[in-house]
Amino acid sequence: METRIDRFGSVREDKIKQLKQLIEESKYIVFLGGAGVSTESGIPDFRSGAGIYNTESGTKYRPIDIIAHDFFIEHPDDFYDFYKRKLIYPDARPNKAHKALVRLERQGKLKAIITQNIDNLHQEAGSKCVIELHGSVFRNYCMDCGKKFNIEYIAAQEGVPHCDKCGGIVRPDIVLYEENLEHENVDNAIKAVKKCDLMIIAGTSLTVYPAATFAQFLKHDRIVIINKSSTYMDLKALLTIHDNVGEVLDKVVPKRISRKNAAAKTTAKKPAASKTKTTAKTTTAKKAAPAKATEAEKKPAAKKPAAKKSGAKTTAKSSSSKAKKDES
């Protein structure tokens, strides 16, 4: 059998081709990403062998116990000791995965990035359509007066960071164990999943709620899994690629926008998060929810008028030049 020689190589190439094809024929892609999206940026994941849960915490507590609401309230000093050493990576930079997703969004195909990561790397790369399920270490707020602080403020303070206005404890705007996810984030994620014609699930073992359950809202089986290890969804998916997320995405998302893609962009209907507007205001959460909502809202707003404006401009121009001609 001649296929035996190059079996794995050719299979991998086939899969890359298939994924390219799937992306090509899709108009409404949703990306669901986990820690594996950021590992290539030097941020450890939680559950793999070298992950945070399996390495020394440097304290007498287990990492999984530290990242919890009650623990934070009772031992903010131990929490921050661990947090600053293990959970924040202010110097991490976007990798090939983040950059490929920016291209896919600009090509008008990617409508939502649902991420479990708290590292801000999608936004730093330039993505607009990001739904942060677990919050972001880049946003922090005073638990007493609500004043907001950036990551530098947290990193610069020794021990537990305190508010420079009222002295209250400042906490990261991330979802700890025992805490609920923001409703509108989950809503928006589900809405996007329901609308999508292709769902790419990458860099996640799919063991964390609610990410694992999003796929059940799909009305089709157009799921692609890109993950180093296998997941329970592998057999359900249309295509499964066991590889680095960044390398795969870099290969399948064209660097330049093709004519076909450009056409898809202009004809694309309402982007995903336009619905955020209606749900954003119903939030009952006390913290920085509005900031999140506006971030999601910006996406369609920024994209659509831009396209319209340029159209309007050209027609205005041509009509005015016509008027001029008529005058003369």
Show which residues are catalytic: 134
In this structure, what token pair is assigned to residue 79? Answer: 């929490």
**Which span (99-107, 139-147, 246-254, 286-294) binds Zn ion, by CB under 5 A?**
139-147
Report in angstroms how near the CB of residue 161 gets to Zn ion at its nearest: 11
Report in angstroms how near the CB of residue 142 gets to Zn ion at its nearest: 3
- What DSSP string describes 293-314? HHHHHHHHHHHHHHHHHHHHHH
Here's the x/- map for Zn ion, 167-206, by CB under 5 A: it reads as -x--------------------------------------
Q: Are 225 and 240 in contact (CB under 8 A)?
A: yes
Report in angstroms how near the CB of residue 116 gets to Zn ion at its nearest: 29
Nearest by Cα to 109 from 239, 224, 308, 262:
262
**Residue 11 binds Zn ion (CB under 5 A):** no
Report in angstroms how near the CB of residue 162 gets to Zn ion at its nearest: 8
Looking at the Cβ atoms of 145 and 316, the one nearer to Zn ion is 145
Looking at the Cβ atoms of 7 and 165, the one nearer to Zn ion is 165
Looking at the Cβ atoms of 27 and 287, the one nearer to Zn ion is 287
Give CA–CA dist 316/137, Å, rounded. Answer: 45
Q: Are 185 and 113 in contact (CB under 8 A)?
A: no
Q: Are 222 and 210 in contact (CB under 8 A)?
A: no
Element (H, E) at 241: strand 239-241
Token look-up 């705007």 returns 173
Here's the x/- map for Zn ion, 153-172, by CB under 5 A: it reads as ----------x-xx-x----
Report in angstroms how near the CB of residue 148 gets to Zn ion at its nearest: 10
Query: How far is CA 98 from each of CA 1, 112, 150, 210, 262, rounded to the nearest angstrom?
Result: 40, 13, 22, 22, 21
Size of the site for Zn ion (CB under 5 A): 8
Looking at the Cβ atoms of 144 and 243, the one nearer to Zn ion is 144
Give CA–CA dist 322/213, Å, rounded. Answer: 57
Where are the alpha helices (H) located in the chain, listed in sequence order?
7-24, 63-66, 69-74, 76-86, 96-106, 121-125, 151-156, 183-195, 211-214, 245-252, 259-267, 276-280, 289-327
**Residue 144 binds Zn ion (CB under 5 A):** yes
Report in angstroms how near the CB of residue 168 gets to Zn ion at its nearest: 4
Q: Are 19 and 100 in contact (CB under 8 A)?
A: no
Looking at the Cβ atoms of 165 and 236, the one nearer to Zn ion is 165
Could you say which of 145, 156, 263, 291 contacts Zn ion (CB under 5 A)? 145
Looking at the Cβ atoms of 144 and 247, the one nearer to Zn ion is 144
**Residue 317 binds Zn ion (CB under 5 A):** no
Residues of this chain that bind Zn ion (CB under 5 A): 142, 144-145, 147, 163, 165-166, 168
